[in-house]
Structure 1
Amino acid sequence: MLSKYFDTNNRVTIRIGEESRLHVHLDDGYWTKLLDPGFVYEPEIGDMLDRVLTSEAIFLDCGANIGFWSVLTRHRTRRVVAVEASPETFHRLTDNIALNGGGVALVHAALWGHDDVSLSIVGHHLCHAAASVCERDGDIGRNGWRSFDVASLTLDTLVERHCAGLTGPVVVKLDVEGAEIPAVEGARKTLSERDVVFLFEDHGQDPTCKVSRHLMDMGMVVMSPGRRRPLEIREIAALKIDPTRGYNFAACRPDAPFVESLARPRP
């Protein structure tokens, strides 16, 4: 509704957390939900971050969008790196990090299984949260959908460039709109050398749970916060009752220190 009355440059500043702010554009139907004081954004991701982030951890906010989680976590961990592929959204991300005094490394790239591949990002200025390098080719030219070329980057290269010399666990929030499997494939070196946990989305429209299956095939366990044991595929499929929304889970090696914190009962 707001997009009918406000142009793309009209925005408000809202407070998130105790010491963070966010610019929200009033034509942005995804983020204007934050104007409702009763709305809680992605509570599962917030719960998982509370369990796995420490002052020694590195947080890779992959699919950072306009910077909600990057801004909130910038003082809680050793380093925050925000990665966003959509050019327009990356501009808004940069603006929000500057609004909060910086402290976050910004990367304009699309996560993929190989470096330096030119990928097409398909997006819409009113639906930027759905911008994707996968599964939207048919939307190009339809009702304002358009494509942008952006270079690919692997998680291994991201860690080498921005986390060299930093020890500690790596927490990866992976919300890359259908590119999760190529992104995970590009992290094999990091997975062999560090403790890594992926906070990822397995969408309700996929009854096969292909992202969870792929992570399990790579030797990881899939966890849901507060459950004492890893999930099986049939349990993940049973949890995904709404085909229009994504469901958030965590994945790590079975011997990783994250398992205990993820399994801890909710208070």
Structure 2
Amino acid sequence: MSQAATLPDTSSPFGTYPAERLVRAAWRLADRHDLSRGLRKRIRGLVARVFKGPYDLEAEGLRFRIYPGENYDDRKILAKGRLPERKEHRLIAPYLGEGKVFVDVGANIGSYSVFAARSGAAVLAIEANPQTARKLSFNVEANELDTVRIVNSAVGPREDTLPLWQEPSNCGFATFVKDLTTGEWEGDWTATFVKVRPLTAIADEHGLTGIDVLKVDVEGFEDRVVLPFLRHADRSLWPRVILLETNCRPYWTEDCIAELASRGYGTTGRTNDNMVFELSA
């Protein structure tokens, strides 16, 4: 039976749950990619039962309260002692800083939002999962960042309420695409209905007049976030740079990449899971 999600502790001060040496060693073992995928999964299940978290630790000078038993990003931070998606961070870093605006759709626990806010950027962090949004809020407060606004909402093409599918071993991999819950990502998925809003409405509500970097990581729903926004937002609000998760591209209903190209976005970076697009002048 899958482990139930841990209720997040958002009241105890940072440092209450130190990650001791044994904890770090166990999660490094569970993250060893020289082991077979099946063996790694079995080890991870055992480690998650014994060392599920929470733990407080710093990675690259940033503070996080993590729950490695239930989130991939948390496991990576603990096992490697650094932020995940370092290549992606390097690709967007030149566009961040004082006076810049970063919009994070699918903010998870904040590895992008906290990174962007540390650079001085104003951040709008949007997270659909209420429990994950609470963890995100704690991490923002632990880093004493006052430039981050958190929106607990999903983003989609229209105002709606939809089932958000979640798997207890990786709450950061929540999705609206039910087909994604089988095959490679088969697990103990359950659905919770959440509010969905267009990005145009959220941007208007928060008074955005420009976006320097838009990051979208919503597990196969990226096309239904980005394309309606570009079709309905004033061109002055189009992001200069878009960091788009593409590893779930087969589940898109429309080809984001082709439409981005038709609207003047060129590809300026690529990693295993993401692509970066910049709007031509």
- For the aligned pair, the TM-score class normalised by the smaller chain equals 0.7 to 0.9
Ranges of 4+ aligned residues in structure 1 off by more than 6 Å: none
- Supply the distance in 1 between the matched residues of 2:234 and 2:247 (Cα, whole angstroms): 24
SS in 2 for 1:163: coil
**Contact 1:16–1:72 (CA under 8 A) maintained in structure 2:** no
What code does the residue aligned with 2:141 have? Answer: A
Give the corresponding residue for 2:49.
Answer: 4
5 Å-filtered alignment, 1:1-267, equals 1=44, 2-7=47-52, 10-18=53-61, 20-28=62-70, 30=72, 31-37=74-80, 41-103=84-146, 104-114=148-158, 116-136=159-179, 144-164=188-208, 167-188=209-230, 189-190=232-233, 192-196=235-239, 197-203=241-247, 206=250, 210-224=255-269, 246-255=272-281
What code does the residue aligned with 2:173 have? Answer: A
What code does the residue aligned with 2:191 have? Answer: S
What code does the residue aligned with 2:131 have? Answer: E
- Supply the distance in 2 between the matched residues of 1:149 and 1:214 (Cα, whole angstroms): 30
Aligned residues: 228
Deviation (angstroms), 1:204: 7.2
What code does the residue aligned with 1:193 have? Answer: S
Deviation (angstroms), 1:83: 0.6
- Supply the distance in 2 between the matched residues of 1:163 and 1:76 (Cα, whole angstroms): 21
Superposed CA offset, 1:39-71 (max 9, x none): 551122211221211312111111100111111
How large is the RMSD of aligned CA atoms in angstroms?
Answer: 2.8
Give the corresponding residue for 2:31.
Answer: none
- Supply the distance in 2 between the matched residues of 1:150 and 1:198 (Cα, whole angstroms): 25
Q: Aligned pair in 2 of structure 1 residues 187, 32: CA closer, same or farther (>3 Å)?
A: same
Which deviates more from structure 2 when the two are superposed, residues 62-71 or residues 204-213? 204-213
Q: Aligned pair in 2 of structure 1 residues 157, 204: CA closer, same or farther (>3 Å)?
A: closer
- Supply the distance in 2 between the matched residues of 1:21 and 1:40 (Cα, whole angstroms): 11
List runs of 5+ in structure 2 lacking aligned partners.
1-43
Q: Aligned pair in 2 of structure 1 residues 37, 131: CA closer, same or farther (>3 Å)?
A: closer
What code does the residue aligned with 2:144 have? Answer: G
SS in 1 for 2:136: helix
- Supply the distance in 1 between the matched residues of 2:54 and 2:114 (Cα, whole angstroms): 18
SS in 2 for 1:200: strand
Which deviates more from structure 2 when the two are superposed, residues 94-103 or residues 171-180? 94-103
Give the corresponding residue for 2:20.
Answer: none
Which deviates more from structure 2 when the two are superposed, residues 103-112 or residues 200-209? 200-209
- Supply the distance in 1 between the matched residues of 2:165 and 2:181 (Cα, whole angstroms): 9
List runs of 5+ in structure 1 lacking aligned partners.
226-238, 240-245, 256-267
Structure 1 or 2: more helix by fraction:
2
**Contact 1:169–1:195 (CA under 8 A) maintained in structure 2:** yes
- Supply the distance in 1 between the matched residues of 2:69 and 2:153 (Cα, whole angstroms): 25
What code does the residue aligned with 2:269 have? Answer: S
- Supply the distance in 2 between the matched residues of 1:204 and 1:108 (Cα, whole angstroms): 23
Deviation (angstroms), 1:143: 5.1
SS in 1 for 2:219: coil
What is the TM-score normalised by the length of structure 2?
0.71
